[in-house]
Structure 1
């Protein structure tokens, strides 16, 4: 992924960095090919393959500029993100949708880490609490997702976003529907 600031306006006059239009370019891999590659793996095997660079990251990772998956364990996943200008809302802080996507990803992947090959899940709901604003000055944050209940058809997970000092920025709870390979 690259980010650039164009320092020249359409007439050719130099403009200040604050007035310059920004451009962000990124690439991603075919998500269906990645899904097919992971179909024969358990959830934890697939997530570890992504974390270790042996399988492509999902496109949302590039779209939002996640740093990656920092940890994968049974029932626990840690995502990292460094807030950047392209995450900002009109009031100069990270948009709530970035929080929600990060929290949803951590909750869902924590559930995925407990699924055997052939099983999958989908989020049923997500309840987010925004506790404080993030900016570029926040530095890298972690979003830690953990499973609190794993049933046959339903799983519950929670996630929290914290900075390097453990300061809490947001939390979420999620319910996921589980689809078992042997069920019709």
Structure 2
């Protein structure tokens, strides 16, 4: 039986243009409040920024069949995207205005399968260390009962943004 899914997103250049104009935390709070649009990947996969504070960010996703791999569970790339988003945004939340970051690596450990029966999942990222040029973050992917589904660590490079 054929299924379909449609989604919409806002112009990503709006939020891209705002990066570095304010602190990373204020930028993320702008996304959370709707002042800045969410990135298109969030619409494509159906996840959302749920919470942000200094050194911490959380995203949620209600798993659906559209996230499945050929063996009938959520594809590992979906896990990785949620974990990367949570860890990366946790790093972004500690950056002052004028600073940017990029992920250098992402190491993921898959612990439990996710299916539509799992219900809403939550990826929570926290900063373990941030210096002048690098940051280290971790993220946990949890089900609604707090069971650990996956864990990731991410190293990020920090750099000054060039004025536009």
TM-score range (shorter-chain normalised) is: over 0.9
CA–CA separation in structure 1 for the residues paired with 2:52 and 2:101: 17
Aligned-CA RMSD value: 1.1
Among residues 23, 26, 33, which one is paired with 2:7 in the alignment?
A: 26
Map 1:27-66 to 2 at 5 A: 27-66=8-47
Size of the aligned set, in residue pairs, is 162
Counterpart of 2:71 in structure 1 is 91
CA–CA separation in structure 2 for the residues paired with 1:128 and 1:181: 28
Counterpart of 2:99 in structure 1 is 119
Counterpart of 2:160 in structure 1 is 180
CA–CA separation in structure 1 for the residues paired with 2:136 and 2:18: 27
For CA contacts below 8 A with separation 6 or more, give which structure has more relative contact order.
2
Question: Which structure 1 residue ranges, 5 or more long, are not aligned?
Answer: 1-19
CA–CA separation in structure 2 for the residues paired with 1:63 and 1:168: 24
Counterpart of 1:110 in structure 2 is 90
TM-score by length of 2: 0.95
Counterpart of 1:162 in structure 2 is 142
CA–CA separation in structure 2 for the residues paired with 1:84 and 1:120: 33
| Larger CA deviation: 86-95 vs 45-54 | 45-54
The answer on 1:140 being equivalent to 2:120 is: yes
Counterpart of 2:61 in structure 1 is 81
Structure 2 SS opposite 1:97:
helix
Structure 1 SS opposite 2:77:
helix
